[in-house]
Homo-oligomer: A and B are copies of this chain.
Amino acid sequence: MAYTYEYPHLAVTTDVAVFTLQKGELHVLLIRRGNDPFRGAWALPGGFVRPEEGLEDCARRELEEETGVSGFYLEQLYTFGAVQRDPRERVLTVAYFALIPSDRVVLKASADADAVAWFPANRLPELAFDHRDILKAARERLAAKLDYSTIAFQFMPAVFTLSELQTVYETIKGEKLDKRNFRKSILALKRLETTGKYKREGAHRPAMLYRIKARKGVEIIK
C-alpha cells in the first residue's frame, strides 16, 4: 500500500525513556531491536505514529506492546528532528519520559523487540539511532525537575520512609543531601502524609512510613 500527499510529509515516531530505581541505582528500560535498521542493537521502546492516533497514545501503545509496561506517568520531553538521525529517511521522533516504581513492572518482549531489560543508566550498551542523546536529555530534565516539582514521588512505592525518599533524590542528583534540611523541605511541601505505621531500618529506631496524598500527575512547586 502507498500513501500519497501533495506536499512533503515526514515519518514520525515516539520513543520513551523509562526510568526506575533498582538497588540504589537509576535504571533505564531498553529493548533489543528485532528489525532493521540497527537489528540486534539496544534502543528505547518506540515506533511510528498512526494517522489517527494522538502522540501520547502512540507512546503508551508502543511501550506496552514492546515491554508490557503500562499505566504510568508519562511526560513529553523533546522532539528530535535532525535530518540524518535515521538511516532510512527523515524520521522525527517525539520523545517522552516515564518514571516507574520498580516494584510494579513485569517485562515481556514482543514481535518488534526480541528482548527487553533494565540497564543501569551509568553503564549503557551501544544504542541505536540518537537514543543516547535522548537519554541524556531525559536525565537532565529529570535532575532539573527534582528541585521544583514532585516528580520524584513517581518513583516511590505505596508507602516509604523519608530516608528512602532521600536516597531517591541523592541517586538522581548524584550527591549526598543533608538529612535534616531534606526532611524539612520535603515535609514543607505538604504533599506527604503519615500512615501511622513504622519500618525498622537497620539498628536505628523504627522510621515513620509515609504515603503521597492523593492527587494526579506532577505538580510544579511554587
In the assembled complex, 5 residue pairs joining A and B whose CB atoms fall closer than 8 Å, in A order, are A3-B7, A8-B51, A9-B9, A54-B82, A144-B148
Contacts of A181 in B (CB 8 A): none
A78 contacts the other chain (CB 8 A): yes
Q: In A1-19, which residues have CB < 8 Å from any B CB?
A: 1-12
Knowing A54-B82, A94-B81, A144-B148, say if A3 contacts B2 (CB, 8 Å).
no
Q: Which of A49, A81, A92 has the most CB of B within 10 A?
A: A81
Q: Mark A3-43, 1 if CB is under 8 A from B, else 0.
A: 11111111110000000000000000000000000000000
* Nearest B-chain residue to A5, judged by Cβ: B3
Which residues of chain B have C-beta atoms less than 8 A from A144's C-beta?
148, 220
**Nearest residue, chain B, Cβ from A145:** B148
In the assembled complex, A191 has its CB within 8 A of some CB on chain B: no
Instruction: Please give the distance in Å from A20's CB to the nearest CB on chain B.
Output: 25
A126 adjacent to chain B (CB < 8 Å): no
Nearest opposing residue in chain B for A144, CB measure: B220
User: Does A79 lie within 8 Å of B55, measured CB to CB?
Assistant: yes
In the assembled complex, the Cα of A82 lies from the Cα of B94 at a distance in Å of 13
Does A178 touch B at the CB level, under 8 Å? no
For the complex, give the distance between the alpha carbons of A6 and B147 in Å.
45
